[in-house]
Amino acid sequence: MLEILYIIAITVEAMSGAIAAGKKQMDPFGILIIACVTAFGGGTLRDLVLDNHPLVWVGRPDFLIITCSAALLIILVRPWIKYLTEAFLVLDAIGLITFSIIGAQKTLQLGHSYLIASIMAVFTGAFGGVIRDILCNQVPLVFRKELYGSISFLAAWMFLGLTMTSLSMTACIVMTLITGFALRILAITMNLELPKFNFDDQNKKG
């Protein structure tokens, strides 16, 4: 089941990358690269940091073909993208939680602590989008808007907590997915954000 969810997740992330690249007037080659980087960037960063080789997409090139196809599809259907924004947000929420669960699980399997596992969940879930925004020359959205990284973090701890109970792995995954998904949709619909603080520049105040 995780594999199916993983394929949905990389497909959606690739599409979000392709849309961001297209809005920056990139050519098809740039769009393909940004799509792949968005889909695999978080997991790549996690595996580099944990020295876990080969990387997912190096070992499974078929996943690359899926993300490239998703990006090409976005180029083809670009006039209708604006009607699909809500569908994307829903799919992206599934992708975020899936990536977070996979990131936490893989890190545990490599013998690391729960704290590192929860951080790697956020790397896997949110850092594809961070790298996408850096390549598109924007302050990463994840750090500024909506409960995104923090929901990834919460979902990771919920999943880690559930694995300590006697529940089956499938039950842990399903419960985390439903709760995380609900939280994320709630955050979007209620426009929830963490509070932001005023760090006045000394010069402006002076």
Interface contacts to its own copies, rule CB under 8 A: 19, 21-31, 33-34, 44, 48-51, 53-55, 58, 61, 64, 75, 78, 81-82, 85, 112-113, 115-116, 119, 122, 130, 134-140, 142-145, 149-150, 153, 193-202, 205
Distance CA 143, CA 90 (A): 20
Task: Give me the least distance between CB of 109 and its own copies, in Å please.
Answer: 15
Task: Give me the least distance between CB of 149 and its own copies, in Å please.
Answer: 5
Looking at the Cβ atoms of 115 and 167, the one nearer to its own copies is: 115
**Residue position matching structure tokens 């599409």:** 15
Distance CA 31, CA 29 (A): 5
Structure tokens at 21: 């690249």
- Contacts by residues 59-63 (CB-CB < 8 Å, ≥ 24 positions apart): 63/7, 63/10, 63/39
Looking at the Cβ atoms of 58 and 167, the one nearer to its own copies is: 58
Task: Give me the least distance between CB of 11 and its own copies, in Å please.
Answer: 18
Of 56, 88, 60, the C-alpha closest to 74 is: 88
CB 104 within 8 Å of CB 163: no
Task: Give me the least distance between CB of 177 and its own copies, in Å please.
Answer: 21
Looking at the Cβ atoms of 11 and 107, the one nearer to its own copies is: 107
CB 157 within 8 Å of CB 124: no
Looking at the Cβ atoms of 134 and 174, the one nearer to its own copies is: 134
Task: Give me the least distance between CB of 1 and its own copies, in Å please.
Answer: 27
Looking at the Cβ atoms of 22 and 173, the one nearer to its own copies is: 22
**Residue position matching structure tokens 């302050």:** 139
